[in-house]
Amino acid sequence: MRILHIANFYGDKSGGIRTTIHNLGHSYIQRGHEFTFIVPGSGFYCEETPTGRMIHLPSILIPFSGGYRIIRRNKDVKNLITTLKPDAIEISDRFTLSQIGTWARKRGIPAVVLSHETLSGLVKTHLRFSLTRFVNWHNRRLASRFKYVIATTQFAAKEFKEIGTPNLVTIPLGVDLVNFHPRNRDESLRTELLKGADILLVHCGRLSPEKKPERSMQALELLLQQGINAHLVYVGIGPLQKKLMQASKDLPVTFLGYVAGRQKLAAILSSADISLAPGPIETFCLAAMESLASGTPVVASKTSAVGEFLLLGSEHPVGAVFDNTALGYAEAIKDVMRLRSRNSDLARQCNQQAENFPWSATVSQMLRLHDDSQKVKKAQHRLRAA
């Protein structure tokens, strides 16, 4: 099968979408399929990669986004689709690329869209009020353009369920269980990052407004005031980086920037005491899942999807959630500190929970969708031939 994935907001230092595409591509190729992905670039060029053929198209740099780009012309995408003749199309952009779904359907090519974000959450974050009628209209239109809308969690699926979307499918993303594991814990690296502190907090993610990275620093200040000797490490870059660095001048905070090597990132996550995920509208949060795979419990916003993975309310939770306030955040961090102190098996339990989300399961479910599409497509061809 020839599978084509088209994405915006992809770059050398982008996070979740890049990781998702690479893992899907690698797994598709291992199972004997052909995989190509189209992403924004500085010009038009093609390269072969271990995760498939990557085609860059001329794009527009989005101001104040920290380097994100979107493909300049959908016409270029359509021309490539005509040339590549894919059997199935995957779209990772519910906004500027949504028209591709309708265009592809008219040409007999089944297309699915992955909803990596919640529109209702984005509206509330950036506009401070809800636009329910607009959100519902957009989501209905999006669903009508694709064979399936794929949500990665129940949280991501909620706004589509509320309008009765008939072609909604929930497929969780996966986690790299080979590279992320408790065995990567490095005591010398931990000592280096602690800089004399007792508790190592790691915030891994893009430093952008919708992810509320400043909340981790606000919680740290409260912990310090309560006599807890903690050090906060930020892993990632984004438009808020400079502002955060200025605000951290008198605080025990380290900014590591973008960490390219998976092994280095895995060592950082597994050497931390707690991983922080304050984004209030995260629809999956791969960094949180990678932290669990590394044996590190997670503190996350109670309004995001991350709580779905933390076994909250069970006998052995692997993290905690907070109410989107600095005080609530600090208290949740202390709850997990107490959890660590009384549960010597916590790292193994975190890793076991992550093992429920292998990429192999994600890929199997995606291929079942595509195979179903192919059966429908072939049946239609036979009817025409008859």
Confidence at residue 12, expressed as pLDDT on a 0 to 100 scale = 76
275 and 134 share a domain?
no
* Residue with tokens 């959450």, as numbered in its chain: 121
Confidence at residue 375, expressed as pLDDT on a 0 to 100 scale = 53
Closest CA to 91 of 3, 5, 1, 2: 5
281 and 229 share a domain?
yes
247 and 159 share a domain?
no
207 within 8 A of 244, measured Cβ to Cβ: yes
Name the β-bridge partners of 45. Answer: 56
Confidence at residue 383, expressed as pLDDT on a 0 to 100 scale = 32
Confidence at residue 374, expressed as pLDDT on a 0 to 100 scale = 54
Confidence at residue 381, expressed as pLDDT on a 0 to 100 scale = 32
Residue 140 lies in a domain: yes
130 within 8 A of 120, measured Cβ to Cβ: yes
Q: How many CB atoms within 10 Å of residue 272?
A: 27
Residue 384 lies in a domain: no
74 and 102 share a domain?
yes
95 within 8 A of 10, measured Cβ to Cβ: no
Q: What is the CATH number of the domain that holds 207?
A: 3.40.50.2000
Closest CA to 190 of 176, 200, 182, 180: 200
43 and 80 share a domain?
yes
Closest CA to 258 of 13, 11, 12: 13
Average pLDDT, the chain: 93
106 and 239 share a domain?
no
Confidence at residue 373, expressed as pLDDT on a 0 to 100 scale = 52
Residue-number span of the structural domain to which 111 is assigned: 2-175+358-371
Please write the tens of the pLDDT for every residue from 281-328: 999 999 999 999 999 999 999 999 999 999 999 999 999 999 999 999
Confidence at residue 384, expressed as pLDDT on a 0 to 100 scale = 31
Task: Give the tokens for residue 222.
Answer: 């409260």
159 and 12 share a domain?
yes
Residue 376 lies in a domain: no
Residue 126 lies in a domain: yes
Q: pTM for the complete prediction?
A: 0.93
Confidence at residue 14, expressed as pLDDT on a 0 to 100 scale = 72
> What's the number of domains the chain is made of?
2
112 and 210 share a domain?
no
68 and 165 share a domain?
yes
Residue 378 lies in a domain: no
* Sites in the chain below the pLDDT cut of 70: 66, 372-386
